[in-house]
Amino acid sequence: MDAERKDREDMNTYKERLLTEHIKRRFHSHLTRWRCMTDATRSAPPLIVGPGGVTLAGKTTITTKLKESLAQSPFGSRSLRVAIFSIDGELASNSTRSLPGALTEQNRRLYSDLYLTHQELTELAAAHPRNKLLHGRGQPGTHDMQLGLVCLQRLRGINGSFAADSQYAIATKGSVHLPIFDKSQFDGEGDRSDKTVQVEAPVDIVIFEGWCLGFAPIGREQIERRYKEAVQRAKPELKTRDDNQSDGEKAPYFLQHNIESLLELDERLGEYERKWYPLIDDFIQLRPVAPTSSTGAAATAPGSASAAGGLENVFQWRLQAEHTMMTSNGGKGMTDEQVRTFVERYMPGYELWAEQVTHEARRWHGKGLRVDIGPQREVVSVSEF
């Protein structure tokens, strides 16, 4: 047990060091580029880094550790100043109702998030009665795009560097208030809180994270083609996804939804691409992969079978998290079947849009880092894109 724990700790330390070094290199390039563009005495805008990856891949934990690591990591004569901004994060403390009106992000392990208000989420679901993906928060389309854009622009301008970066920055007076979504409201459906997370200048790096960050539309033609091909492969009857089924191809999760629902999300992803992605300087993708041989080797080519098979890791990670929680709260939580149903709702996004993260059209192309992780969240391979 102690040996296993040590192995996990060593791997976590390795991931932290790997990502810290990547971000420091990107920040150095960011500063160099800024100084070439403008007067060296002007403060550079923060480098905005977008970690994205499947739920429970360790993204939030790594984000928190990265902030600590970068803050302790010397950069010239000082340490780096880091702020965290999440599109779907969690408060690391109790309900926001017990917290003061403005929370200082630098001094608390807190995450903002960008969901629509409860009323807006309710109206969204009512407007799309056949689209289960838009019933409740989480999916592309359930975030407040304009609010996110303004927050990113204000963070870009927090150091007073907006004049030379005016296309993507809004002048601020040294601080930015980020929204919080209180998930305890409305019996767990949640609502935007009147509390905020306050970020104060100066800021060197903004870690802007989210499970679907980097997803981008693939277009009607490709969705219709992939849907049709999946239906044809699934005939004469849809294959089940029994955990014990190991032979043959399993039907993709997106076939659980009508094609109109998928096209709706694809269209909504266009707004993420237009509004948010131009402000992201660098990207880190955490991608689960599955072993493809008895040696445990994993194929990690984009779109490979093992990359798709790696999504099954998410179910085990979510089950582990649920079981751990239940051991400490008297057994309260979801059944294994409920956990599977919960996780399945997110799978179409990974199947259809996750590979768009590395597309050459992305602003961060040529500056991104992909980390493939195995069933124990161990690093399998690392590549740049």
Q: Is residue 238 part of a domain?
A: no
Tokens of 353: 């849009």
Determine the average pLDDT of the residues in 355-384: 94
> What pLDDT score was predicted for residue 7?
59
Distance linking the first and last C-alpha atoms of the chain? 37
Q: Is residue 89 part of a domain?
A: yes
pLDDT at 3 over 60: no
Report the candidate in 49, 91, 105, 108 with the shortest Cα–Cα distance to residue 180. 91
Q: What is the CATH number of the domain that holds 128?
A: 3.40.50.300
Highest mean pLDDT (candidates 53-67, 93-107, 140-154, 292-306):
140-154
- Average of per-residue pLDDT values in the chain: 84
DSSP code string of 209-250: EBTTTT-----HHHHHHHHHHHHHHHTTSPPP--TT--SSPP
> What pLDDT score was predicted for residue 239?
52
Determine the average pLDDT of the residues in 269-284: 97
Q: Is residue 247 part of a domain?
A: no
| Residue whose structure tokens are 């005939």 | 235
Whole-number Å distance between alpha carbons of 264 and 261: 5
Structural domain count of the chain: 1
Element holding 50 (H helix, E strand): strand 47-53
> What pLDDT score was predicted for residue 109?
40
Whole-number Å distance between alpha carbons of 210 and 49: 11
Domain with 165 in it: 2-220+264-384
Q: Is residue 228 part of a domain?
A: no
Report the candidate in 322, 313, 382, 384 with the shortest Cα–Cα distance to residue 350. 313
Q: Is residue 60 part of a domain?
A: yes
Q: Is residue 252 part of a domain?
A: no
Contact criterion met (CB below 8 Å) for 346 and 325: no
Q: pTM of the full predicted structure?
A: 0.86
At 308, is the pLDDT very low, low, confident or very high (cuts 50, 70, 90)? Answer: low
Q: Is residue 140 part of a domain?
A: yes
Q: Per residue in 242-264, pLDDT tens? A: 544 444 568 999 999 999 999 99
Report the candidate in 15, 16, 24 with the shortest Cα–Cα distance to residue 282. 24
Q: Is residue 169 part of a domain?
A: yes
Q: Per residue in 106-147, pLDDT tens? A: 433 445 789 999 999 999 999 999 999 999 999 999 999 999
Percent of the chain whose predicted confidence (pLDDT) is above 70: 81
pLDDT at 178 over 90: yes
